[in-house]
Structure formats: C-alpha cells, structure tokens
Amino acid sequence: MDDELEQPGEDEAPLDDDEREMLHQDLVDVQSLKELLGPKGIKGVVFYCPDCDEDHYLAWDLLAGNLRELLDAGESPVHEPAFEPDPDEYVSWDYARGFLDGYESFEQEDAGDTINRIILELRDRGWTPEQVKSFLAAAHLDLRIGEEGSAPGGS
Ligand SMILES: [Zn+2]
C-alpha cells in the first residue's frame, strides 16, 4: 500500500462504489442534457463555487470532462470556467436535473404524448427517422415509434 506514492490515473481510486455510481449517473445525465438542452441554446450549467466564491459556468463538454476526470483520477480537476459565458445560456444543475426528471417521469407516465411531440418537432426540423431514433436513444427516451402511448393503470 503505497499511499504516499499513489499516482493519478492508476486503478486505485479513492472513490467508493456509491460515489462512482453517482458520478457515472451524472455523466450519463450530462450527455442527455447536452442532447436535450443544447439545441435549445443552453450551453451548460452554472455552479456556485465556494472555493472561488463565484459562479462557474461549465459547458456540457467541460462538465462531462470534469466528471470523467473525477471518475478516472478521483480528483476534482482545476477550476476552469467557460470563457466569457453568457449567463442566459447556462442553467443551474437543479434546473437541469429537474428537466431531465421531467423527461424521465414522462417516460414512465405518459411517454407517448411527449415523445410524439418531440418526434414531430424534430421531423419539422428535417431530421430523418434514423436521426430521431438515435437522438431519443441517446437521451434515454424509450422509443416506441408508431405505437400509441398506453399508460398502464391510467384511464
Ligand atoms: Zn472555483
């Protein structure tokens, strides 16, 4: 056990399984959010950073990179805010997660209607069915094109 000689990037990560699982889930969420919110002009998430006593604006890719680095190295990377961010283009993590939760609960409750609207909107933009499918898959929306949403237990 060479605790004092541990090297970044080695397989020995100081994160426990729960933390890794949470980080991994965050990473998945960030990818979904980038797909869902990016087209709406939302470029990333703003975090208040107590160390710097200021808000940090993290674009999706930067945020994903930070999470990967945390997963790989178990260390929070250096603070690297976006360059001259426009606050209007960033949302809070709570908002982003709420947005995603909304999608996921729609998926469980009334997926058909929501997904149909998304599909119509994307087709409106000239997306091919294949593009729509891969988009929804990337966003973890369970896709059933051509089937009416039948909510189990609903009326
Ligand atoms: Zn900071």
Residue 148 pLDDT exceeds 90: no
**Cα(39) to centroid of ligand 1, in Å?**
27
147 in a domain, yes or no?
no
- Mean pLDDT in residue range 119-125: 84
**Cα(91) to centroid of ligand 1, in Å?**
17
Residue 130's pLDDT band (cuts 50, 70, 90):
confident
Instruction: Provide the pLDDT for residue 32.
Output: 92
**Cα(55) to centroid of ligand 1, in Å?**
8
Side-by-side strand order, sheet with 44-49: 54-59, 44-49, 90-92
**Cα(111) to centroid of ligand 1, in Å?**
39
**Cα(62) to centroid of ligand 1, in Å?**
14
Instruction: Provide the pLDDT for residue 11.
Output: 52
Between 115 and 42, name the one with better pLDDT. Answer: 42
Geometric angle at alpha carbon 97, from 130 and 150, rounded to 5° = 55
Domain interval for residue 87: 18-138
3-state SS, the chain, equals CCHHHCCCCCCCCCCCHHHHHHHHHHHHHHHHHHHHHHHHCCCEEEEEECCCCEEEEEEHHHHHHHHHHHHHHCCCCCCCCCCCCCHHHEEEHHHHHHHHHHHHHHHHHHHHHHHHHHHHHHHHCCCCHHHHHHHHHHCCCCCCCCCCCCCCCCC
**Cα(80) to centroid of ligand 1, in Å?**
8
Rounded to a whole number of angstroms, the CA Rg of the chain reads 19
130 in a domain, yes or no?
yes
Q: At what angle do helices 60-73 and 17-37 cross, to 10 degrees?
A: 170
1 in a domain, yes or no?
no
149 in a domain, yes or no?
no
Q: What is the pLDDT of the chain when averaged over all its residues?
A: 77
102 in a domain, yes or no?
yes
Between 12 and 151, name the one with better pLDDT. Answer: 12
Residue 59 pLDDT exceeds 70: yes
10 in a domain, yes or no?
no
12 in a domain, yes or no?
no
**Cα(67) to centroid of ligand 1, in Å?**
15
Q: How many domains does the chain have?
A: 1
Instruction: Provide the pLDDT for residue 35.
Output: 92
Least confident segment among 31-45, 53-67, 86-100, 111-125? 111-125
- Mean pLDDT in residue range 70-95: 81
153 in a domain, yes or no?
no
